[in-house]
Homo-oligomer: A and B are copies of this chain.
Amino acid sequence: MNEAAILAARRELKEISKDEIADALERIIAGPEKKNAVVSEEKKRLVAYHEAGHALVGALMPEYDPVAKISIIPRGQAGGLTFFAPSEERLESGLYSRSYLENQMAVALGGRVAEEVIFGHNNVTTGASNDFMQVSRVARQMVERLVFSKKIGQVAIGGGGGNPFLGQQMSSQKDYSMATADIVDAEVRELVEKAYTRATEIITTHIDILHKLAQLLIEKETEKETVDGEEFMSLFIDGKAELYIS
């Protein structure tokens, strides 16, 4: 979700409804739906559980953005899509807390976790490759730039901009030592593993909702339809899960 797109959307917030924005954003992000694409049953199941994993973890994370739409109709490169609707407040502030970023990593890993839980270790797929890149970037930024890591201490690594005293620029290249690089890697790994564990706990605890949601996605796909936030929420009400929606 490109920040420029978010801001563009924000400026129009008063004139157009939330649904229209969501649609516009979807099209920008994922390309138009490919309703004529032939999708094998095997892939449908795989993508359905993958997207259901993202949605389920997102819905059960405290204070995370609510699910707006889940789709397994292919769009551009993506086999499916789970769309979260950040609150206006969140879009306004431009500030993200440590716990929000930790939740976001767990949500991104929810797809692979669902694959692993449902299809087993040997059958997880290359479909999580973009999720992992996003998680890796967020975790690395948390350690290197946002100084959310205890082991590295309060030292932002890397640099940019000008020095107020010497008028010198520091290069944006990594300028930390090999010992620091080892700590950074360990910290990044720890953050991601913690998020993976949280996603796994949520999915295994609420696996009945995962099955229902995947099933619903496959049924909807037959008619080239998607699951919206309300339909998604009703699964929870039926399933009597405790919900933490911000």
A residues adjacent to B (C-beta < 8 A): 1-3, 37-40, 42-43, 46, 79, 88-89, 92-99, 101-102, 109, 112, 119, 121-130, 132-141, 145-148, 152-168, 170, 174-182, 184-185, 188-189, 192-193, 195-196
- Among B127, B147, B162, contact of A132 (Cβ-Cβ < 8 Å): B147
Determine whether the beta carbon of A129 is less than 8 Å from that of B145: yes
| Distance (whole angstroms) from the CB of A139 to the closest CB of chain B | 7
Copies of the chain in the assembly: 6
Determine whether the beta carbon of A136 is less than 8 Å from that of B159: yes
Enumerate chain B residues within 8 angstroms of A88, measured Cβ to Cβ.
40
Determine whether the beta carbon of A141 is less than 8 Å from that of B156: no
Determine whether the beta carbon of A165 is less than 8 Å from that of B46: no
Q: Give the 9 A-B residue pairs with the shortest CB-CB distance, closest first.
A: A132-B156, A177-B181, A43-B93, A40-B89, A99-B122, A136-B156, A95-B125, A177-B185, A154-B196
**Taking CB as reference atom, which chain B residue is nearest A148?**
B124
Enumerate chain B residues within 8 angstroms of A46, measured Cβ to Cβ.
93, 95
Determine whether the beta carbon of A192 is less than 8 Å from that of B40: no
Determine whether the beta carbon of B132 is less than 8 Å from that of A145: yes
Given contacts A129-B146, A137-B161, 4 further A-B contacts (CB under 8 A): A98-B123, A98-B124, A133-B145, A177-B178
Q: A147–B137 Cα gap in the complex (Å)?
A: 14
- Among B126, B166, B180, contact of A165 (Cβ-Cβ < 8 Å): B126
Enumerate chain B residues within 8 angstroms of A188, measured Cβ to Cβ.
155
Enumerate chain B residues within 8 angstroms of A154, measured Cβ to Cβ.
109, 112, 132, 135, 192-193, 195-196
User: Max chain B CB contacts within 10 Å: which of A99, A153, A154, A179?
Assistant: A154
Enumerate chain B residues within 8 angstroms of A96, measured Cβ to Cβ.
125-126, 165
